Structure 1
Amino acid sequence: MKNQISPDILKKWLTAWSLSRELPLPIAYKSGYKVEVGDAKQKERYVFPELNEDFIELSSTINEPWIFLKACATPKEIRSHVSEKWTLQPQGYMMVCSHPMVFPNHNLNTEYKLEFDSYNSTYLIRILTQNNEEAAIGRVVFVDDIAIYDRIITDNNHRRKGLATIIIRELEKIAISKNSTKNFLVATEDGKQLYQSLGWEVHSLYTSIVIVS
């Protein structure tokens, strides 16, 4: 596992992240990138391919809450270079998969149905109950030669039924149809285990800090 990522891959992932959320595209900020998120609990995000002087200097100039700084580095490294005003966020993992995923052999239960949609180079799949309640959702975004998987979420009332796995399998079918074999995502601690079971590998840690009001 590395503790940094190429600026090119980082930009493609962050572009996909923005397209998926219908936000402004990332702009260069020194050795990293900035996205104007505009949310009350995430005003902006600055993302860097590694912990460096640009990251450290920026952390010393920001005093406003809900501006996130993110880098491919360990929490210990970041904690040792920023002041106590910054709060570490739950750990993220940048993950890659450059071969067909390995799925368990099960199909969608008849109590559910699939729904497909697309926008902004983003392909969206929902799993709905027969009463049209959303049980799970996920997206894949295509930026150049990379398929970026994003926001794969299962409702708490529908967990442990393999729905996320089915979403990922259907998203991979779309990627294969577009001859995209380079897969990338950022996972949570819980999500990491699922993706590893499907054949993904951790490329680098992805650590976030923010000033909490």
Structure 2
Amino acid sequence: MPDTRINELVRMWIDGWIVSRGSSDPIEEPWGWTIDVGQPMQVARHVLPEPTEADVRKIVAATSAPGTWLKLFAEDHSVLPWVGQGWRKDRPGFLMAGHLEPERTEVPAGYTLTSWTRGGVSKVLVRTGDGHFAARGQIARVGDQAVVDQIETAAEHRRKGLGGLVMRTLQNTAYEAGARTGVLVGTPEGRGLYSSLGWTTYSPMASLWYEPADAAQ
């Protein structure tokens, strides 16, 4: 039977992601959604919450444009045999969700935090005392839901609580604006942080893009 919760969470993620990235509205397909992203390395993405071999092979057969991405909510090993040559594997992701509640935040000594909101997207920037980049992130609110995006901490500033600071600040901003449910797709490195903040993993996500050998030259 279809997993309605996964489908619902994936659609939440898409709705917030397109606001966060300024992409086109999603086009509904029998197997999921297509999004025109419009970047040289990511022209479009096909999102399949419940990928089947038949659907993936059909999309792959119709793909000729480098920079076409597949976001397949399944384990890498189960979908890789379906794509063939020219498809390259990105890091796996994890679909996660959490209930948003106000959180206490404290900026560690030696850092400053700046936050702002434009067009429904709130951003947080953490810098050192002398202005060097340390961490960042953003969150896009759509109604009572919010999607966390582009969380990043500079290598030399990791394990100092900055990722948690960014997340809590973004969650508080979204909560104050009326959001109560948060959704994200996290990297393997970020999954531990989000889990420690109370987020739950619902599905793995395989991420693939099309780059035939002649396009990479």
TM-score class, shorter: 0.7 to 0.9
Aligned pairs, number: 210
State TM-score, norm by structure 2.
0.86
What is the deviation of 1:13? Answer: 1.3
What is the deviation of 1:59? Answer: 1.3
SS of the aligned residue for 1:118 comes to strand
Partner of 1:143: 142
Conserved 8 A contact 1:4-1:49: no
Partner of 1:45: 45
What is the deviation of 1:6? Answer: 4.2
State TM-score, norm by structure 1.
0.87
What is the deviation of 1:125? Answer: 1.1
Consecutive unaligned residues in structure 1, runs of 5 or more: none
Whole-angstrom distance in 1 between the partners of 2:57 and 2:4: 16
Conserved 8 A contact 1:5-1:49: no
Please tell me the residue identity of whatever aligns with 1:191: G
What is the deviation of 1:71? Answer: 1.4
| Percent identity of equivalent pairs | 27
Whole-angstrom distance in 2 between the partners of 1:36 and 1:206: 19
Question: Residues 8-65 of structure 1, C-alpha deviation per residue, up to 9 Å, x if partnerless?
Answer: 4323311221211222232223332122222222121111111133333111221332
The answer to whether residue 96 in structure 2 is matched with residue 87 in structure 1 is no
Whole-angstrom distance in 2 between the partners of 1:23 and 1:99: 25
Consecutive unaligned residues in structure 2, runs of 5 or more: none
Partner of 1:110: 109
Question: Residues 169-200 of structure 1, C-alpha deviation per residue, up to 9 Å, x if partnerless?
Answer: 11121132234221111000000111111111
Please tell me the residue identity of whatever aligns with 1:92: G
Please tell me the residue identity of whatever aligns with 2:78: E
The answer to whether residue 122 in structure 2 is matched with residue 123 in structure 1 is yes
Question: Which shifted more, 71-80 or 198-207?
Answer: 71-80
What is the deviation of 1:129? Answer: 2.1
SS of the aligned residue for 2:82 comes to coil
Partner of 1:63: 64
SS of the aligned residue for 2:203 comes to strand
Whole-angstrom distance in 2 between the partners of 1:149 and 1:128: 20
Aligned pairs for 1:61-210 within 5 A:
61-98=62-99, 100=101, 107-210=106-209
What is the deviation of 1:123? Answer: 0.8
Question: Which shifted more, 144-153 or 81-90?
Answer: 81-90
